[in-house]
Structure 1
Amino acid sequence: MNLKGKKILLGVSGSIAAYKSALLVRLLVKAQAEVKVVMTESATEFITPLTLSTLSKNPVLTSFTKNEAGEWNNHVELGIWADLMVVAPATAKTLSKCASGHCDDLLTAVYLSARCPVFFAPAMDVDMFRHPSTRRNIEMLTAYGNHFISPEHGELASGLIGDGRLAEPENIVQILNAYVSNRPIAAAKRVLITAGPTVEPIDPVRFISNRSSGKMGYAIAEAFADAGALVTLVSGPTQLRTLHPNITTIHIETAAQMFDATQAHFESHDVVIFAAAVADYTPRHVAEQKIKKQGESMSLDLAKTTDIAGTLGQLKKPGQLAIGFALETENELGHALDKLTRKNFDYIVLNSLNDPGAGFAHDTNKITVIDKEQHVQQFDLKSKEAVAQDILNIVLAKWSEA
């Protein structure tokens, strides 16, 4: 593990998910990291400082003062000491305070003093996580250069099912390990990624599209950018945004526009990842005015769009990697292998709509990766951020071989 010898500061805030911090500390210590823990007062109601102190082999800090004599826990020294800071779980309140600079406890004071990369792993109920104020706070913290480990999908303490579960400790450690180990290999590499759907207009108000949210492509872009790569993201219409300084986003709408943008940047990039869900057909004629309802049926004359991945895959240079995606509903492996060969990919990432939690719109995915020698790697259902790390690690392994 590349976390060996790293000084990691773990911030624990007041969520029921705080119980997972015990396993997280244990895994970090097992990876031979040096761990110090800072807790909010409310976090101590869910897990005792003694538990985390025993596991971390360091005193757990909960306030500015150590004792009645007035000795204090120096937040500045803690912020300088750490190589990485992780806030897990990060509640909506803690996110809000860190985003606004509202510093009224030791944890937020340490965050404001930290000179190291900071990772936030949110945990809260689904509606709290989706609330515009929470989304705004996350956007602000991301703009400040912080990193986010997205919550996972599942049953919450409220009994609701949705996004908001703290990422599993194993996934958090994997992401931290990848961040530490991958930056030297990926530094200055250029990665081109397509993401999201395309929309093919029928008239000024209607269009043909699909259910792609863009979440997988954006997660891959963030993973490579965090690893030091320079990313060009060609994105179809989506509600997602990234403020990562290593990502340049080109917004497009139609398949033709995506082809033009991807083709223009294809040759200059080391890796091209075709994660977008591009329309296979587009209306041959677009009405200038809204089409009025007439008769019992309507026919559209559709023309085939350019196969972006297939066309550019044939132009791949030696040393350049091309990775495609295949979302299938039947004969999944057979269709994926056909795409892998026909489009000259080095790898294809297969997911099936028959797997619960995989495919469009979900925050999770379950993938199988096949290389051109037809070696097959199967992965469990994970958050899309964790899936992105798996894809990143495959590419980094390939670069290391070279």
Structure 2
Amino acid sequence: MNILITAGGTSEKIDNVRSITNHSTGRLGKAIGETFLTQGHRVTYVTTPQAVRPTPNSNLTFIEIETTKELETALLDQFEHQVFDGIIHSMAVSDFTTETTLSEDAFIEKLVAKLVKDGNLTNLTNLTDALYHSLDEIGKTIQPEKKIPSGTDRLLLFLKKNPKIIAMLREKQPQAVLVGFKLLVGVSTEELIQVGHAILAKNKCDFVLANDLEAIHGDHHHGILIDASGQTETADTKNEIAQLIVSKVEEKWRMQG
């Protein structure tokens, strides 16, 4: 099988020396990648600079990205040149990317100038509309500094929503066995399964691995693999999860063949 795996966590630049990111280590992706390689499959592994990686292998190709936009570009490039039998989208992708950054003083000056320009704001509806319009314009302010000065008491960071990478995977690779991932924090098993199943249906996945951050510590990693019929199987370590995912993807691929 020709397998694509995304793993690690994207980061979004604030300036040339700062970024916002998440805490994904890529260890689960590493375990999944090594399990596929052990079974003799070819793996294209898309990951980030800080994430752990599978041991180098003649059947393993690395692609390194940092931002969600870079991830999208790399995947679209791969889809133009390869057909994948399975896609394991385990990467923790940033929901938002940076739009612009302003000091407290600069933000207030820009907001006041735009509100004054809009004129009659005594009506609550007019004021609300003017604030939305002003924030939209301010958010599009070009960030000129390569390193934002640190001499302000407050730094206002504007974030805009990233595209959902998983949403395009089925469209671009309709033949692939697709595995999505959903991480929640401090929820019941019932809610975890319910949300995981919603993600599966929305993105036309074959499987979703639902897990709770509070059930991940040390070697313990409790995960619930949900299939399109709503059936679930559980595993309690990263290696067990990897074995479960690989076996299910292989089985589904054989059935499709």
Deviation string for 1:182-203 (max 9, x for gaps)? xxxxxxx100000101111101
- Residues 236, 258 of structure 1: 8 Å contact kept: no
Of 294, 299, 305, the residue aligned with 2:156 is 299
Larger Rg: 1
Equivalent residues of 2:5, 2:87 under 8 A apart = yes
Which residue in 2 is equivalent to 1:367? 223
Report what 1:148 is aligned to.
none
Cα 1:363–1:250, aligned 2, differ >3 Å: closer, same or farther?
Answer: farther
Contact 1:191–1:269 (Cα < 8 Å) also in 2: yes
Amino acid at match of 2:255: E
Quote how far apart the aligned CAs of 1:288 are.
Answer: 3.4
Decide whether aligned partners of structure 1 residues 354 and 322 sit closer, same or farther in structure 2, where only a CA change above 3 A counts.
same
- Aligned residue identity for 1:192: L
Where does structure 1 lack aligned partners over 5 or more consecutive residues? 1-188
Aligned ranges for residues 218-229 of structure 1 at < 5 Å?
218-229=30-41
Question: What are the residue-to-residue correspondences of 1:1-400 with 2, within 5 Å?
Answer: 189-241=1-53, 242-266=55-79, 268-285=83-100, 288-317=145-174, 319-329=175-185, 330=187, 331-357=191-217, 362-379=218-235, 381-382=236-237, 384-400=238-254
Q: 1:364–1:238: structure 2 CA closer, same or farther, 3 Å change rule?
A: farther
Q: Give distance in 1, aligned partners of 2:192 and 2:144.
A: 37
Q: Which amino acid aligns with 1:253?
A: E
Q: Which residue of 1 aligns with 2:127?
A: none
| 2:160 match: secondary structure | strand
User: Aligned residues, how many?
Assistant: 207
The two structures have a TM-score, normalised by structure 1, of 0.49
Q: Is the 8 A contact 1:204 1:287 kept in 2?
A: no
| Rounded Cα–Cα distance in structure 2 between residues aligned with 1:194 and 1:288 | 32
> Which structure features the higher share of strand residues?
2
Deviation at 1:237, TM superposition (A): 2.1
Which structure has more relative contact order (CA 8 Å, sep 6+)? It is 2
Q: 2-side partners of 1:225 and 1:345: how far apart?
A: 22
The change in CA–CA distance for 1:197 and 1:346 in structure 2 (over 3 A counts) is same
Deviation (angstroms), 1:207: 0.2
Q: Is 1:282–1:305's contact at 8 Å kept on the other side of the alignment? A: yes
Which residue does the alignment assign to 1:108? none
Contact 2:224 2:232 in 1 (8 A): yes
Runs (5+) with no aligned partner, structure 2 = 101-142
Secondary structure of the structure 2 residue equivalent to 1:322: strand
- Percent of matched pairs sharing the same residue: 32
* Cα gap change, 1:287 to 1:210, in 2 (>3 Å): farther
* Distance in 1 separating the partners of 2:147 and 2:219: 35
Per-residue deviation, 1:210: 0.2
Q: 1:190 to 1:290 in 2, by over 3 A?
A: same
| Cα distance in structure 1, aligned partners of 2:30 and 2:145 | 33
Segments of 4+ moved more than 6 angstroms: none
Contact 2:179 2:208 in 1 (8 A): yes
Q: Choose 389-398 or 190-199, whichever is displaced more.
A: 389-398
1-structure distance, mates of 2:216, 2:41: 32
